[in-house]
Amino acid sequence: MPEPRQPYYVSFTIDRIPAIVVDHSQSNPGGARAGAERAGHTRIDVSAAGGPQFVPRTGAARPDGRVPFYYLSINVRFSLHNFAVAISSDYAEGSCAYNATRQHEYEAHLYRPIRIFHGYRDILIAALNKIVVPTEATPQWVRPADVQAVREGFEQQVNEAVSTVYGNLRAALRTAREVDDNAEHYRLVHDQCTPAQWASGR
């Protein structure tokens, strides 16, 4: 597993997965559709904490007037949070329909997104490690008048790299949801119970 080079700090955090179904009060939590398709719904939010947090510094000038410019840290935090699982109130807790729906929601819409999310840590670190920025140990000596432009140049590169990875992560999560909610996957869920069990919720 690659690790970020200095001065990058990368954090991928995940909320605690709910041990119980959060919402069992709605008849159609998945929308006004039929059968297993409307049986459940799971929400997950992903964020990049507003983008990278930069901590730049400059030091004392040397005899030629140039100052050392560097970053103490560049912090990048992705999070997966606000998990909310809902299962149709038409299905009694512990029934075949309830259990099949719960299994689908947790595996397809909690555990799989978490695996995808974790996989993007290495992708993000690889993208950041390609951008070599000055550190306290290896500063860039610049004229005081150039500090702002130099800083903006580095931060634009980092912001673009993080934005690209974040966009790709969101796209991967969206694609996974679409695949796991297609007709074939719903058929597999529906086939776990008899039509009578789905109809009665028992």
Show Cβ contacts of residue 20 under 8 Å, excluding neighbours closer than 6 positions: none
Residues in Cβ contact with 39 at an 8 Å cutoff, skipping those fewer than 6 apart = 29, 30, 87, 88, 91, 97, 100, 101, 189
> pTM value?
0.88
Structural domain boundaries of the chain?
A: 8-197
CA 178 to chain centre: 16
Query: pLDDT truncated to tens, each residue of the chain (202 aa)?
Result: 789 999 999 999 998 887 766 688 888 886 655 444 568 888 899 999 889 999 999 999 999 999 999 999 999 999 999 888 999 999 999 999 999 999 999 999 999 999 999 999 999 999 999 999 999 999 999 999 999 999 999 999 999 999 999 999 999 999 998 888 887 878 888 899 998 888 887 7
